[in-house]
Homo-oligomer: A and B are copies of this chain.
Amino acid sequence: MIICPTPLPAKELILLGHGSGGKLSADLLRDVFLPAFRSPVLGRLDDQAMLQIGDVRLAFTTDSFVVKPLFFPGGDIGSLAVNGTINDLAMGGAQPLFLSAAFIIEEGFPIGELGRIARSMAAAAEAAGVEIVTGDTKVVEKGKGDGVFVNTTGIGSVAAEIQLSAGQARPGDQILLSGHIGDHGIAILAAREELGFDAPVESDCAALHTLVRDMLDASTAIRCMRDPTRGGLSSTLNEIAVQSKCGVELHESAVPVREAVRGACELLGFDPLYVANEGKLVAIVAADSAPGVLAAMRAHPLGRDSAIIGSVTDRHPGMVTMKTVFGTTRIVDMLTGDQLPRIC
């Protein structure tokens, strides 16, 4: 028997926006999952759980991938699933070690494409030095899925001295970004044939753990790191602002955006700040350490275009503002709708 200790919420329905990584996702977490699970670890709202088992400190994170299409310029659902979970581990300062892989496949899906996805996962895992050690396969009837969905869950080890958390941002800290934003989201959109839209942009899908290692080697004054995936840079910075109870001030002119991405966004009516990335990270760093961390980032192949894009302030706590290229200041809110469903 199911026991319902509290009355069911009103008859609200799940919208695509509940999966956007923006405001509706945060609402769902706050209204449905956190009250049910009541886990202090989950309640920290970091990208990964930190667990102490015996003498070992572990990071643990899960992600399901429902990206459409399955194959796109710069990657596919397989490499995305491996790199995405590696990155969630890396953002906690963990050395990624082991992954699980679980597939939900729609009846009628070509086995050849499944093999191609599996080999892509294996190649991404090998390149990153992690091992896929356990798995699961389920099949649903035609019309009850969409090709294939992949879940990866990862375990990494974390040195005792590493304590990264969004709650640690302090006024005066600098905000570092590892490169151009919006590549992944625009590459996915361009790969959706029905949009009849083309852009010379590849997904930035990449494993960031060696970049993170170089940054941690360069400084012990990194407060937190996050990868701005679903919901884009704006949602990540809003989360940091809320969790640290500080304000975040961006400088629009400092945020790297490729011309092709900027053009596509103008065409489609999108703001690059809300477009997903899969190979970028944001770091909050104490001001006097920021130049050293920036130098370490620029020395890494995945951080060549890193930039300091703003700072943490004690003004307007919990909010993100941006000094625009026109000299005005505007509020950068969390994503509220479903700008780009199924980009990961």
Residue positions of A touching B, CB distance < 8 A:
1-6, 8-20, 25, 28-29, 31-33, 36-39, 41-42, 48-49, 51, 53-56, 58, 60-66, 71, 74, 76, 97-98, 100-116, 118-123, 125, 131-141, 143-146, 149, 151, 153, 155, 157, 341-342
A111 contacts B66, CB within 8 Å?
A: no
Q: Find out whether the CB atom of B137 lies under 8 angstroms from the CB atom of A19.
A: yes
The answer to whether B76 and A2 have CB atoms under 8 Å apart is yes
Per assembly, the copies of the chain total 2
Does A115 contact B8, Cβ atoms closer than 8 Å?
yes
In the complex the two chains form, is A62's CB within 8 Å of B153's CB?
A: yes
User: In the complex, what residue of chain B is closest to A157 when comparing beta carbons?
Assistant: B53
- Would B157 and A106 count as touching, CB distance under 8 A? no
Bound complex: CA A98 to CA B53 (Å): 10
Is A62 a contact partner of B101 (Cβ separation < 8 A)? yes
A56 to B52, CA, bound (A): 11
Asked whether A9 lies within 8 Å of B122 as measured between CB atoms, the reply is no
**Closest 8 pairs between A and B when the two form their complex, measured CB to CB:** A19-B139, A153-B153, A62-B100, A36-B118, A8-B112, A49-B133, A144-B146, A49-B134
Contact of A342 (CB < 8 Å), options: B56, B64, B120, B140: B140
* Among B32, B113, B136, B141, contact of A63 (Cβ-Cβ < 8 Å): B136
